[in-house]
Structure 1
Amino acid sequence: MLDIVDVGKRSLASYRGVAPDEQLDELVHLSEHLRGARCMHVNATSYGGGVSEILRSLVPLYNDLGITTDWKLIHGDEEFFQVTKRIHNGLQGAPGELTEKDKAVYLANAQRNASRLISDSEDYDFIFVHDPQPAVLAALSSLRESRWIWRCHIDTSHPNPSYWEFLAPFLTAYDAAVFTLDDFIPPELPIRDVHVYPPCIDPLSPKNHPLPEKLTKDLLEWIGIRTHRPLVTQVGRFDLWKDPLGVVRAYQRVRPHVPDLQLALVGSLALDDPEGWDVYKEVRSATAGDSLIHVLTNLVGVGNVEVNALQSISDVVIQKSIREGFGLTVSEAVWKGTPVIGGRVGGIPLQLPEGTGGVLVDTIEECAEHMLRLLRQPEEARLLGERGREHVRQNFLMPRLLRDHLLLLNELAAARPLAPRGIIPASSIPAGLQGV
């Protein structure tokens, strides 16, 4: 069997007064004909990235609506995850070729996961498969009664042909696909039913829930941040696409003008990202000897609450990606009122429209220029963050993402009706929706 992730319980009613009321009200109606249906989300890891953070909040809310939902993880050896990282990069346009050995490793692991899936998944009405690591499951599985959805979170607009030509034939088994942006849809996608909607943050998660000022400062002092000094922060995986070394160089340009300026580079090291260890070592080497640069990971106890504190207290947050799916850390920081300097790529511009939330940059020089300007003009920085918070509230909080999911499930159920057990009378509203 695939490993199941324990996610606990969440109530949609708790979002009242945080997310827009009209979004919460709509969820009641959209879930009406789905209550009692069974759904499964499958991905590669339960920690260390945006997908896992989304599922940890989204899956309990499915259940609160009366849609019985599980979150399960594929298995794989180290060689498998090295191959899937190359596929991940290749689908984003990285050079290279997928060797016959790579294909064999990927498919052998996928076949084992498909066998595990068959043993415990016969009754699922909907199966979401996230990203490239488990992407071939639908084709290898015999569970054709389920409605299969491939949720691709990365930018596949210009995939390396070596990787795309291998993966694309397996995608014909999917009933629908979901991408973050229209621009991310790859050429000649063999899935006809395609949907586009961006991910969201959970304002009530430990990473985004408001923290008392004293606790914020105590948490950061504990990990070496001096809260009386200015601070800029980048949060994200140690990934060359996120350009952590470019952030270091931009910071070094600003440092002579702000001598006590601190830089925090914060990332999680995850099982499905072996390349992250190499990037982490490179960053450590590039920053060695500078006591004002803090390289922090989950391995030294820096988790969601510490990230929350860093994003809340930083003068500026940076997300200088050179390739990006969405960049949840942008909305996370802006939700806390902190302005963001973001790379003009992927879903970052969607989160930072002109004059709202921060500024977009294309180069290290532009990043340094805007960093210095926002540090010197705190009132401008404050206004950017303030306008950005309302933009996030309207567009990028978890109830909006749940709405998009329910619209898709309703469409798939209309095309191929659910079994009778998949329907609960409309009067049976889950307890968590009382008052919503």
Structure 2
Amino acid sequence: MFEEYARYIDEGTLRELRQLAKELKGVRVLHVNSTKQGGGVAEILHRMIPLMNELGIETHWEVIKGDIEFFKVTKKIHNLLHMPGRESLSHQDVITYMRQTYENVSHIDTDYYDVVFIHDPQPLGLIVKKRLGQKWVWRCHIDISTPEEEVWKFLEMFVNGYDGSIFHIPEFVREGVQIPAFVIPPSIDPLHDKNVELEEGFVRDVLERFSIDPDKPIVLQVSRFDRLKDPVGVIEAYRIVKRRYDCQLVLAGSFADDDPEGEEVYNEVLEKKGDDEDVFVLNLPPDSHREINAFQRAATVVVQKSIREGFGLVVSEAMWKNKPVVGSNIGGIRRQIINGVTGYLVNSVEGTAFRIKQLLANPEARDTMGKNAHERVRHSFLITRHIKDYLLVIYRLLKS
């Protein structure tokens, strides 16, 4: 399979991957997260794990179990790590988290592995099962630089038991973390259904299936239904644009299995949409990869107006398809977009609307930025680079 990536990367990178894998022959790796479907973490693991195995590194994936109460608690933790000051964990929340953690300790076999990657706060407590000689890494996909302090103190008890941590960008690293911190941006897979080339006829068929006019400009945001993605703010920006340009807005997403707020946010977005027939709010099945691909290829302008963002791989997905992206000047979004070169960074609803109008008015600028965006992703955000970074972390932990 790796030979299929040769048209996207140089032969030297492939040789480096094979040499690193040779050095790590016999190492057994486990990844643990909270869902098999929905969100960027699951999507990356679906692609990365087969490739790791193809390199000869035995790699498995487990998903923690949890009831609705547990995932309400972990969603609260997620929100408080992003936006302190709203509330804090209750005594009952801590009990719920710990009870489910110990149930997962008996459910998931970690003893077999040499290196265990734990993704995000949901399975963080599994570190209590670490055995002598193992290396455990906490892969944090969110911004924990300014968390609610009491929540962080609770999580820190677990974090400092790990042998290393991984963050998307340097700014996300929490001051005072006592373990080594590595910076590894996530990636997209150009061979995934979400990113492969599509025939123009298929793209038009998808648009028509959802009653979207293929001949009218499309403004698109792809993201799960989460308040931190600010879909309501996107509608507000679209309405400003609509005063000047006759366009459509597509908000395409789904519910993640570990996010109990998804349906509530989806209904809020439907209410904000009202009876505007040029706004399409699409709750898609998690495996709608080719449909998302089609929307991104059909879009005139892609938006990612998040309030807080771990990385936002949908930005790189759109850039890969030669689309300029108007994205919030936050988190991992500003690591992907080079302002004025591959898209625009914005700080408000009004700024979002202004940049959308600018791109709608200037097809030549869209084309130039789109080509720049594609090259940006090819050089920095493909899965081959991501796997190499993981192998280097494993090598560092086991061989140093």
TM-score, with length taken from structure 1: 0.89
Residue of structure 1 equivalent to 2:2 = 12
Is the 1:20–1:393 contact (alpha carbons within 8 Å) kept by the matching residues of 2? Answer: no
Structure 1 residue 20, shift from structure 2 partner: 3.5
Amino acid at match of 1:133: Q
Residue of structure 2 equivalent to 1:135 = 124
Counterpart among 150, 162, 165 of residue 153 in structure 2? 165
Residue of structure 2 equivalent to 1:283 = 269
Is the 2:110–2:129 contact (alpha carbons within 8 Å) kept by the matching residues of 1? Answer: no
Structure 1 residue 136, shift from structure 2 partner: 1.1
Q: Could you list the runs of 5+ residues in structure 2 that have no partner in the other structure?
A: none
Is the 1:35–1:65 contact (alpha carbons within 8 Å) kept by the matching residues of 2? Answer: no
**Take 1:136 and 1:73, find their aligned partners in 2: how far apart are those partners?**
14
Counterpart among 108, 127, 144 of residue 99 in structure 2? 108
Is the 1:115–1:141 contact (alpha carbons within 8 Å) kept by the matching residues of 2? Answer: no
Amino acid at match of 1:106: Y
Q: Does 1:369 align with 2:354?
A: yes
Structure 1 residue 142, shift from structure 2 partner: 4.4
Is the 2:111–2:130 contact (alpha carbons within 8 Å) kept by the matching residues of 1? Answer: no
- Which string of whole-angstrom CA distances, capped at 9 and with x for unpartnered residues, describes residues 131-176 of structure 1? 01001111x2143332100000000010101210111011122111
Counterpart among 327, 332, 339 of residue 324 in structure 2? 339
Equivalent residue of 1:32, what SS? helix
**Take 2:9 and 2:145, find their aligned partners in 1: how far apart are those partners?**
32
**Take 1:302 and 1:399, find their aligned partners in 2: how far apart are those partners?**
23
Q: Does 1:402 align with 2:393?
A: no
Counterpart among 222, 225, 245 of residue 258 in structure 1? 245
Counterpart among 15, 18, 29 of residue 39 in structure 1? 29
Structure 1 residue 383, shift from structure 2 partner: 0.4
Residue of structure 2 equivalent to 1:5 = none
Structure 1 residue 305, shift from structure 2 partner: 0.7
The structure showing larger relative contact order (alpha-carbon pairs under 8 Å, at least 6 residues apart) is: 1
- Which string of whole-angstrom CA distances, capped at 9 and with x for unpartnered residues, describes residues 262-286 of structure 1? 1000111012001122111100111
The Cα RMSD (Å) is: 1.2
Aligned residues: 399
Equivalent residue of 2:95, what SS? helix
Is the 1:343–1:362 contact (alpha carbons within 8 Å) kept by the matching residues of 2? Answer: yes
Residue of structure 2 equivalent to 1:50 = 40
Residue of structure 2 equivalent to 1:238 = 225
**Take 2:296 and 2:96, find their aligned partners in 1: how far apart are those partners?**
40
Is the 2:130–2:136 contact (alpha carbons within 8 Å) kept by the matching residues of 1? Answer: no
**Take 1:82 and 1:111, find their aligned partners in 2: how far apart are those partners?**
17
Q: Does 1:182 align with 2:170?
A: yes
**Take 2:210 and 2:14, find their aligned partners in 1: how far apart are those partners?**
38
Q: Does 1:80 align with 2:80?
A: no
Equivalent residue of 2:250, what SS? strand
**Take 1:405 and 1:240, find their aligned partners in 2: how far apart are those partners?**
31
Moved over 6 A (4+): none
Is the 2:110–2:116 contact (alpha carbons within 8 Å) kept by the matching residues of 1? Answer: no
Structure 1 residue 288, shift from structure 2 partner: 2.1
Residue of structure 1 equivalent to 2:206 = 219
Structure 1 residue 354, shift from structure 2 partner: 3.0
Residue of structure 1 equivalent to 2:115 = 126
